Structure 1
Amino acid sequence: MNIYGSQPGKPSGEVPGHRYATLTGGPLDGQLIDVTGWSAQELLDGAALVALLGVFGPGGRSHYEGRHGDPDRLHWIGDTP
């Protein structure tokens, strides 16, 4: 999975023709994840993403999942070791 930050002056790395969802809340707030090819169910299920600044520090994962009617965002639901 590719996650893209939003740092001024740096290219985002986004690829034309790909689909992205914004991560909302938690340690990856505002970053984008490439969801090209994800089904509607996969968007709802979301993903556990490595987050250096999460509750459990380096190596921990932050869980993001979708919500019905909001396919362009994945929402933070918590962290795990």
Structure 2
Amino acid sequence: MTTSPTRLVTIWAGLVAATVLSWLLGVEHAADDVFSREAVAALLVAITAVKVWYVGLDFMEVRESAPWLRWLFTAWLAATSLTLGTLLVV
């Protein structure tokens, strides 16, 4: 693994912060008073997509793989996230 331990710890801390933010924005929590359920759902899908992207690139080492595999992973994640976001909002 060529990713530095400092980078991994920083990304891990960001993932933990994103998880806490997701929980705070959850549909059953305080966000109901500020945002619509559809907006919260779309935001949660976006946060989740970013988390999956970082886990895939840095912890599963897709960043170090062939360019076509990084592209395929990113395209799959974008298509899946857009589809899920669309289904939740519509």
Establish whether TM, by shorter chain, passes 0.5.
Answer: no
Larger RCO, structure (CA 8 Å, separation 6 or more): 2
Provide the TM-score with structure 2 as the length reference: 0.25
Write 1 or 2 for the structure with the bigger share of helix.
2
Write 1 or 2 for the structure with the bigger share of strand.
1
Higher-Rg structure is 2
Provide the TM-score with structure 1 as the length reference: 0.27
